[in-house]
């Protein structure tokens, strides 16, 4: 009983502490902004004005690999164009990179950090779930955000501060369904998503809608967080006579799925969305008997100058090389990150100020011709895009082969 | 049978891998009454070490080295984080275990940059084979036999050697065993060495099948193995092994339940595969409600 009291009082004290900390977090922007100014002071002393762009990306967790590649694109763009002219003055662009750890619980505090640092706008994130989770933090902080590759419609829906430069899942899901039904001739699809993951659940949902509308049949399943044993799901797909295995999940799960599909002789093509466009997937599939197709934003070779520049940048820096997964294959998300950075610069130029509110005001009318195509925002704040690239893994060389440019 | 076989195979294989981790939990609990939360992470560190070592040396050198290092890590963890707390309340040592667990995870997250690493392909056990209608890896088939052999050897060690007798004595009564002249520290170290050795073997089998290794890879298998140990009656080695097999098989049967029904012409759409973990843990609750000490648990131990 005595012990119980002790524990109870400790718990109480603990909860009060947490409560007071939460209170601090709410009041944090002011002191946080101060420290941000101090950090900027040395740069200002050297005669430069600084504008901060927040980079809200995962560097660890399920989506760490993709997040790092996207950040890499942004950093490369920053190294190419480190300054911007705002209202007749030259500002140095400072990237403030935070790690949202691919987690919807930890994302908001990383986002709060950006708001506290006083960034003019935010780029990111890879992964729709974390973007949705941080949306309110950016909104309350009055900071506009540009989603780079978060494809779930909910990211930009019903708000004015979130924009995005990539295509959306209803589009991507329909493209994939058309590809599966018409090109791959599959009449029954197995769809596997991750439980509680906005991205995979959303994309599967749109795929199923489009695929059943075409007259196909689907089997839908989802796996819980932390699962790496996909053997039974693969058996399910085989035993139910499915003809395509659609699994637009995180890269980490992808590596496991590819490996286990190969060892169990899946015998049907694997189809996935933009997340799988990664050298991790290529590496896992190299030398194995698997057939993997993905839809994505950019095809390596489309803009050679960009490809070569980025490759040079990656090879010139061992950290960058490690962040890109150990080789210089160009991920579509890096191209998107690169474009996002320039869109951000365009917005700053148009706003003529580093004030986040002013940037948000001009963002809807910003247009930019990027390496991944033309970028212009519609009324919801989404980029108007109507093509996706279909790529296929070449299992002999471990690289991507271009298959088709697909619109709906 | 041909419908159920692939699921059974996956279940037996993953169950065997859980069993190897569960033995580490159950032995440490039996002797120290400590739930070693860092054990799942020792298993993960073994996997990560193998990835890095295979990059610079052939697998047949890397594997024994990896096992030696894992054993050393297990030994060091006990000496550094648990031994100084031997006379402290049990809660403190458990908190220390949680601390070690997070330390290992964060260290690996730092070294790997938080990214998933591909586990190296080990010849023979990574090959594909056909068993009737099921395609799988050789490792799936070897696992249960290897587990049974290792458990047999372990039981022999515990029942028929001097150190085994010392372990049993310490498990029975810690203080009296000490008074009888048993060197308690070496007994506890041996326990950790055996536990880490089995975790290292388990990591080779597990990651050969599920090849992505990240800093969180130890969490789920660790948790399942812990559940298996509780399920079988914590402190009991055969209990942990049987518990692990039951959990491995039941989670895979649940994942394939609807597909099996579909083959028999029953089309349901309840999405039970989603609840594979939930069903497993519900099973645990039921067993513990009916039999609070687990399947083979000793009576009247004071649980933490």
SS (H, E, C) chain A: CHHHHHHHHHHHHHHHHHHHHHHHHHHCHHHHHHHHHHHHHHHHHCCCEEEEEEEEECCCCCCHHHHHHHHHHHHHHHHHCCEEEECCEEEEEEEEEEECCCCCCCHHHHHHHHHHHCCCEEECCCCHHHHHHHHHHHHHHCCCEEECCCCCHHHCCCCCCEEECCCCHHHHHHHHHHHHHHHCCCCEEEEEEECCCHHHHHHHHHHHHHHHHCCCEEEEEEECCCCCCCHHHHHHHHHCCCCEEECCCCHHHHHHHHHHHHHCCCCCCEEECHHHCCHHHHHHHCCCCCCEEEEECCCCCCCHHHHHHHHHHHHCCHHHHHHCCCCCCCCHHHHHHHHHHHHHHHHHHHHCCCCHHHHHHHHHHCEEEECCEEEEECCCCEECCCCEEEEEEECCCCEEEEEEEECC
A224 touches chain B (CB under 8 A): yes
Digit-coded pLDDT (tens) for B91-123: 999 999 999 999 999 999 888 877 788 899 888
User: Who among B113, B118, B210 is closest to A228 (CB)?
Assistant: B210
Distances (CA, A) of A248 to A169, A398, B44: 11, 20, 26
For residue B178, pLDDT over 50 is answered with yes
pLDDT at position A4 is 52
Q: How many CB atoms lie within 10 A of CB B72?
A: 12
pLDDT at position A10 is 54
Give a yes or no: residue A35 inside a domain: no
Residue A323 belongs to domain with CATH number = 3.40.50.2300
pLDDT at position B293 is 86
Chain B: nearest CA to A44, how far in angstroms? 32
pLDDT at position A22 is 42
Give a yes or no: residue A345 inside a domain: yes
Give a yes or no: residue A205 inside a domain: yes
Look at chain A and report how many structural domains it folds into.
2
Pairwise CB contact (< 8 Å): A260 & B210: yes
pLDDT at position A246 is 96
B256 touches chain A (CB under 8 A): yes
Q: How many CB atoms lie within 10 A of CB B10?
A: 30
A260 touches chain B (CB under 8 A): yes
pLDDT at position A337 is 95
User: Who among A60, A227, A235 is closest to B7 (CB)?
Assistant: A235
Chain B residues with CB under 8 Å of A242 CB are none
User: Who among B209, B214, B256 is closest to A252 (CB)?
Assistant: B214
Pairwise CB contact (< 8 Å): B118 & A284: yes
pLDDT at position A21 is 43
ipTM: 0.84
Chain B: nearest CA to A53, how far in angstroms? 23
B129 touches chain A (CB under 8 A): no
Cα A260 to Cα A38: distance, rounded to the nearest angstrom: 52
For residue B66, pLDDT over 90 is answered with yes
In terms of domains, do A258 and A399 share one? yes
Q: What is the mean pLDDT of chain B?
A: 89
A138 touches chain B (CB under 8 A): no
Chain B: nearest CA to A245, how far in angstroms? 15
Give a yes or no: residue A130 inside a domain: yes
- Domain extent, residue A373, equals 48-167+307-377
Pairwise CB contact (< 8 Å): B135 & A65: no
In terms of domains, do A153 and A272 share one? no
In terms of domains, do A264 and A395 share one? yes
In terms of domains, do A284 and A355 share one? no
Chain A: nearest CA to B186, how far in angstroms? 33
With CA atoms as reference, report the closest residue to B109 among A124, A109, A100, A64. A64
Chain B: nearest CA to A319, how far in angstroms? 10
A105 touches chain B (CB under 8 A): no
In terms of domains, do A134 and A156 share one? yes
Chain A residues with CB under 8 Å of B210 CB are 228-230, 256, 259-260
CB A72, CB A78: distance < 8 Å: no
Chain B residues with CB under 8 Å of A283 CB are 118
Pairwise CB contact (< 8 Å): A232 & B6: yes
Chain A: nearest CA to B233, how far in angstroms? 25
In terms of domains, do A275 and A401 share one? yes
Cα A231 to Cα A205: distance, rounded to the nearest angstrom: 23
Chain A: nearest CA to B266, how far in angstroms? 12
Closest Cα in chain A to B268: A219
In terms of domains, do A155 and A242 share one? no
By the 10 Å C-beta count (0-12 exposed, 13-18 middle, 19+ buried), A324 is classed as buried
In terms of domains, do A156 and A176 share one? no
pLDDT at position A226 is 81
| Three-class DSSP labels, chain B | CCCCHHHHHHHHHHHHHHHHHHHHHHHHHHHHCCCCCCHHHHHHHHHHHHHHHHCCCCHHHHHHHHHHHHHHHHHHHHHHHHHHHCCCCHHHHHHHHHHHHHHHHHHHHHHHCCCCEECCCCCCCCCEEEECCEEEEHHHHHHHHHHHHHHHHHHHHHHHCHHHHHHHHHHHCHHHHHHCCCCHHHHHHHHHHHHHHHHHHHHHHHHHHCCEECCCCCHHHHHHHHHHHHHCCCCCHHHHHHHHHHHHHHHHHHHHHHHHHHHCCCCCCCCHHHHHHHHHHHHHHHHHHHCCCCCCCCCCCCCC
pLDDT at position B266 is 75
Chain A residues with CB under 8 Å of B14 CB are 229
Give a yes or no: residue A25 inside a domain: no
pLDDT at position A1 is 45
Give a yes or no: residue A41 inside a domain: no
In terms of domains, do A277 and A313 share one? no
In terms of domains, do A177 and A160 share one? no
Chain A residues with CB under 8 Å of B273 CB are 221-223, 232-233, 236
Give a yes or no: residue A398 inside a domain: yes
Residues B78, B79, B81, B82, CA torsion sign: positive
pLDDT at position A210 is 95
Pairwise CB contact (< 8 Å): A224 & B277: yes
B116 touches chain A (CB under 8 A): yes
B96 touches chain A (CB under 8 A): no
Give a yes or no: residue A315 inside a domain: yes
pLDDT at position A47 is 56
Pairwise CB contact (< 8 Å): B219 & A226: yes
A59 touches chain B (CB under 8 A): yes
In terms of domains, do A255 and A399 share one? yes
User: Who among A59, A230, A265 is closest to B114 (CB)?
Assistant: A59
pLDDT at position A38 is 40
Put the strands of the sheet holding A399-406 in their side by side order: A217-223, A188-194, A244-246, A270-272, A292-296, A388-394, A399-406
What's CA B272's distance to the chain center, in Å?
A: 26
User: Who among A195, A235, A323 is closest to B6 (CB)?
Assistant: A235
Chain A residues with CB under 8 Å of B135 CB are 263-265
For residue B300, pLDDT over 60 is answered with no
Pairwise CB contact (< 8 Å): A223 & B273: yes
Q: pLDDT per position in chain A (408 positions), as tens?
A: 445 555 555 554 555 444 444 434 333 333 333 333 444 444 444 457 899 999 999 988 888 889 999 999 999 999 999 999 998 899 999 999 999 988 899 999 999 999 999 999 999 899 899 999 999 999 999 999 999 999 999 999 989 999 999 999 999 999 999 999 999 999 999 999 998 888 899 999 999 999 999 999 999 999 988 888 899 999 999 888 899 999 999 888 998 999 899 988 898 999 999 999 888 888 889 888 899 999 999 988 889 999 999 999 999 998 899 888 888 889 999 999 999 999 999 999 999 999 999 999 999 999 999 999 899 999 899 998 888 999 999 999 888 999 988 887
User: Who among B109, B210, B277 is closest to A60 (CB)?
Assistant: B109
Backbone angles phi, psi at A355, to 5 degrees: -70, 125
Digit-coded pLDDT (tens) for B233-290: 888 899 999 999 999 999 999 988 888 887 777 777 677 778 888 888 888 888 889 8
In terms of domains, do A159 and A174 share one? no
């Amino acid at each position: 009983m005595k012990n119980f009291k002790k524990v109870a009082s400790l718990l109480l004290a603990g909860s009060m502490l947490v409560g007071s900390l939460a209170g601090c977090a709410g009041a944090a922007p002011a002191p946080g902004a101060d420290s941000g100014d101090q950090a900027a002071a040395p740069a200002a002393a050297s005669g430069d004005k600084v504008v901060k762009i927040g980079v809200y990306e995962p560097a660890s967790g399920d989506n760490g690999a993709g997040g790092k590649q996207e950040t890499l694109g942004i950093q490369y763009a920053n190294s190419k164009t480190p300054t911007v002219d705002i209202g007749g003055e030259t500002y140095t662009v400072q990237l403030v990179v935070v790690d949202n750890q691919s987690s919807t619980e930890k994302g908001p505090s990383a986002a709060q950090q950006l708001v506290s640092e006083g960034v003019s706008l935010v780029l990111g994130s890879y992964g729709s779930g974390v973007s949705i989770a941080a949306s309110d933090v950016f909104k309350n902080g009055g900071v506009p955000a540009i989603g780079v590759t978060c494809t779930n419609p909910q990211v930009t829906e019903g708000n004015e501060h979130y924009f995005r430069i990539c295509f959306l899942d209803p589009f991507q899901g329909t493209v994939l369904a058309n590809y599966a039904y018409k090109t791959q001739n599959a009449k029954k699809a197995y769809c596997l998503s991750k439980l509680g993951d906005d991205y995979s659940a959303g994309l599967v949902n749109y795929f199923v809608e489009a695929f059943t509308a075409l007259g196909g049949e689907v089997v839908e399943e989802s796996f819980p967080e932390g699962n790496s044993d996909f053997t039974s799901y693969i058996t399910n797909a085989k035993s139910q006579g499915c003809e395509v295995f659609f699994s637009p999940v995180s890269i980490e799960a992808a590596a496991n799925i590819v490996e286990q599909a190969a060892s169990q002789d899946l015998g049907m093509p694997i189809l996935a969305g933009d997340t799988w466009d990664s050298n991790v997937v290529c590496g896992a599939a190299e030398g194995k008997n698997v057939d993997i197709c993905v839809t994505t934003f950019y095809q390596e070779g489309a803009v050679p100058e960009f490809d070569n520049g980025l490759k040079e940048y990656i090879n010139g820096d061992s950290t960058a090389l490690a962040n890109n997964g150990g080789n210089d294959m160009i991920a579509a998300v890096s191209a998107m990150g690169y474009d996002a950075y320039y869109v951000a610069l365009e917005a700053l130029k148009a706003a003529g100020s580093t004030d986040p509110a002013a940037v948000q005001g001009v963002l809807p009318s910003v247009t930019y011709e990027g390496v991944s195509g033309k970028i212009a925002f519609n009324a919801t704040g989404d980029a108007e895009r109507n093509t996706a690239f279909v790529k296929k893994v070449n299992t002999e060389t471990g690289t991507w082969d271009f298959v088709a440019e697909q619109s709906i | 049978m041909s419908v159920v076989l692939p699921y059974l195979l996956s279940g037996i294989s993953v169950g065997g891998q859980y069993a190897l981790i569960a033995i580490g939990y159950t032995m440490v609990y039996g002797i120290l009454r400590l739930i070693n939360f860092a054990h799942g992470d020792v298993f993960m560190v073994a996997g990560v070490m193998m990835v890095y070592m295979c990059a610079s040396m052939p697998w047949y050198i890397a594997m024994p080295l990896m096992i030696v290092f894992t054993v050393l890590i297990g030994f060091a963890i006990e000496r550094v984080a648990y031994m100084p707390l031997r006379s402290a309340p049990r809660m403190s040592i458990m908190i220390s275990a949680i601390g070690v667990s997070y330390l290992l995870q964060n260290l690996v997250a730092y070294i790997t940059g938080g990214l998933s690493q591909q586990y190296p392909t080990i010849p023979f056990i990574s090959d594909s084979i056909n068993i009737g209608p099921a395609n799988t890896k050789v490792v799936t088939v070897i696992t249960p036999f290897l587990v049974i052999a290792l458990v047999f050897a372990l039981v022999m060690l515990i029942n028929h050697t001097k150190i085994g007798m010392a372990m049993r004595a310490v498990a029975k009564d810690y203080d009296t065993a000490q008074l009888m002249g048993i060197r308690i520290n070496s007994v506890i170290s041996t326990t950790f060495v055996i536990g880490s050795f089995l975790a290292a073997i388990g990591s080779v089998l597990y990651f050969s099948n599920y090849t992505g290794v990240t800093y969180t890879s130890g969490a789920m298998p660790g948790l399942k193995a812990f559940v298996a140990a509780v399920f079988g009656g914590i402190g009991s080695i055969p209990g942990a092994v049987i518990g692990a097999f039951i959990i491995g098989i039941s989670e895979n049967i649940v994942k394939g339940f609807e597909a099996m029904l579909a083959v028999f012409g029953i089309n349901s759409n309840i999405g039970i595969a989603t609840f594979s973990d939930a069903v497993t843990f519900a099973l645990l609750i039921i067993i513990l409600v009916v039999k609070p000490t687990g399947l083979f648990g000793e009576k009247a131990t004071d649980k933490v």
